[in-house]
Structure 1
Amino acid sequence: RRGYCAASVNAMLAAVNGYQEFRGAPEAKARPLKRQRRVFCDAGRELTRAEYFRLLAAARQSGRKRTLLVLQTLCATGIRVSELAFITVEAVRRGRASIRCKGKCRDILLPRALCHRLERWCSRQRIHTGPVFLTRQGRPLDRVTVWRRMKALCDQAGVARGKVFPHNLRHLFARTFYALDKNLAKLADLLGHSSIETTRIYIMESGAEHQKLLERMHLLL
């Protein structure tokens, strides 16, 4: 009656069902609502290619070289922000990084142009081994620091703050890769996903793009 979405209803039902299980009455458990997979995403949350380039321009114009390279590294490789520490001097020299996350290991290739930029950065910063991106104290950058640096660019770039966070760069990588290759299984491997269903979420088009597709069908007289 209050217009809760299916996810909210199921969350409340899960609490009720947990209580029924606790009191020894599993037969009283309620069946959760079935949810059909969405075919488009909320455009207000997804970072566009144009917005990404505006963030890069803002970082460059404000002299935030490290932030500029972090953004490009995340978006050009599709790695999680927590995996940034695996982008090492050794990996840059090889053009390949070994990522270990969630009990799994995967190898990713680094774009040549990115390697050249990271090599120049390491040379200027006198970073000879280990992670490329370090704090002033010499520790690998953490996700909170990256998140804050990204948010600091929003106003100058003219991008809504709700769109600017590290994981959205991973989504942009996924959508861009899939637009060129259309190989969902390969993309899942690159992203380190165990399930292709997770990868499907990353490549959803926006509602606006879905609307354009409907308009191009020309099924109305």
Structure 2
Amino acid sequence: MVDAIADFLAMLAAERGAAANTLAAYRRDLVAAQAVVGDLASADGAKLETLGQAWRDLAPSSVARKVSALRQFYGFLIDEGRRTDDPTSAMPRPRSRRPLPRLLDHHDIKQLFSHAEQEATTHDAPGLRMLALLELLYGSGLRATELVSLPLSAVPRDAPLLTIAGKGGQQRMVPVGKRAGMALSAWLAVRPSGGKHVFPSPGGGHLTRVRLFQLLRDLALRADIDPARISPHVLRHAFATHLLEGGADLRVLQTLLGHADIATTQIYTHVDAARLVALVNLRHPLAEGAAGGHAPRLTGARHIPSAKP
């Protein structure tokens, strides 16, 4: 019933601090499932089994998301005493692998920044804003939503840190490097007056995620980079990947990215396999070059360039 779905969503918001986008996604998945099987709160395993046919054309990751929503929904009903059984064992259980993030190498980053910096030298507001956006995406690893909704109050005058309200309203402190700090200061000096956001929109709110995406794609075109390879999330991936290449600790990276589970952060370790091989060659007691080491060197290591663009 709709009331059960509403109660479940209210629990997610109150007890888990789920964001509005998360709640909307759960609502869509549950309402869509209810359209197939009827009242979700009373559906049995036989009815849930029919969802496999309804989901046959969906990607495994989409099916996995829907299954997760339903399992949590029925877990909620059991906890609340509204059901005594869990019918979700009848649903399909796709094995989906977390996709590896699209990557930008150091050359791409250098080319992108070079063009943005050149455009910012005219000191016009659009160019300075674009450079500030780019610096905060790549230099601080902010999510698109975190960046566009950044309030002026989150930018301190005397500390190189931003106070970010991430997913679920969880706050974290994000360091701002010298480059990003200079770009941000330059933008704030020409920023239109009024409003409470660092990146305001003409309508009185803040820059939208869609507009941020468009600005990045347009910059990529001007910088002679395939725009299909650029997005706010890709720059966040580049931030994480290049920090790991530079020797950052995985737990530190988890904190910087605002990941609740380190398993989410560990996806970035795949790109650093070459550095790990080089580390074993250099530091293992039996490796050639280490003290007393005479074993043959591992192959496959390559030079990892500096993380600086």
Structure 1 and Structure 2 fold alike (TM over 0.5): yes
Map of 1:51 onto structure 2: 108
* Aligned pair partner of 1:91 in 155, 161, 165: 155
Map of 2:213 onto structure 1: 147
Distance 1:109 1:27 in 2: 43
Quick check: 1:73 aligned with 2:130? Answer: no
Q: Deviations over 1:80-135 (max 9, x none)?
A: 11111336366142322111122311111211332233222212336588432222
Work out whether residues 162 and 173 of structure 2, in 8 Å CA contact, stay in contact via their aligned partners in 1. yes
Q: How do 1:23-34 and structure 2 match up within 5 A?
A: 29=90, 32=93
Task: Considering fraction of residues, name the structure with more strand.
Answer: 1
Work out whether residues 92 and 119 of structure 1, in 8 Å CA contact, stay in contact via their aligned partners in 2. no
Secondary structure at 2:173's aligned position in 1? strand
Classify 1:87/1:54 alpha carbon distance in 2 versus 1 (closer, same or farther; 3 Å).
farther
Q: Deviations over 1:146-169 (max 9, x none)?
A: 100011123322222221000111
Classify 1:127/1:174 alpha carbon distance in 2 versus 1 (closer, same or farther; 3 Å).
farther
Classify 1:159/1:87 alpha carbon distance in 2 versus 1 (closer, same or farther; 3 Å).
farther
Classify 1:33/1:82 alpha carbon distance in 2 versus 1 (closer, same or farther; 3 Å).
closer
Classify 1:8/1:123 alpha carbon distance in 2 versus 1 (closer, same or farther; 3 Å).
closer
Classify 1:92/1:33 alpha carbon distance in 2 versus 1 (closer, same or farther; 3 Å).
same
Work out whether residues 174 and 203 of structure 1, in 8 Å CA contact, stay in contact via their aligned partners in 2. no
Classify 1:106/1:141 alpha carbon distance in 2 versus 1 (closer, same or farther; 3 Å).
same
Quick check: 1:159 aligned with 2:225? Answer: yes
Map of 1:133 onto structure 2: 199
Amino acid at match of 1:155: L
Between structure 1 and structure 2, the one with the greater Rg is 2
Work out whether residues 96 and 109 of structure 1, in 8 Å CA contact, stay in contact via their aligned partners in 2. yes
Map of 2:52 onto structure 1: none
- Once superposed, what is the RMSD of the aligned Cα atoms? 3.8
Work out whether residues 89 and 127 of structure 1, in 8 Å CA contact, stay in contact via their aligned partners in 2. no
User: TM-score, normalising length from structure 1?
Assistant: 0.71
Work out whether residues 117 and 131 of structure 2, in 8 Å CA contact, stay in contact via their aligned partners in 1. yes
Distance 2:228 2:114 in 1: 19
Distance 2:161 2:263 in 1: 27
Classify 1:30/1:218 alpha carbon distance in 2 versus 1 (closer, same or farther; 3 Å).
same
* Aligned pair partner of 1:176 in 220, 224, 242: 242
Map of 1:3 onto structure 2: none
Shift of 1:196: 0.8
Distance 2:245 2:169 in 1: 29
Residue-pair matches, total: 199
Give the gaps of 5 or more residues in structure 2: 1-58, 75-84, 121-126, 279-296, 301-309
Distance 2:112 2:132 in 1: 11
Map of 1:8 onto structure 2: 60
Secondary structure at 1:54's aligned position in 2? helix
Amino acid at match of 1:198: T
Classify 1:111/1:89 alpha carbon distance in 2 versus 1 (closer, same or farther; 3 Å).
farther
Work out whether residues 77 and 110 of structure 1, in 8 Å CA contact, stay in contact via their aligned partners in 2. yes
User: TM-score, normalising length from structure 2?
Assistant: 0.53
Shift of 1:37: 7.2
Secondary structure at 1:181's aligned position in 2? coil
Quick check: 1:113 aligned with 2:179? Answer: yes
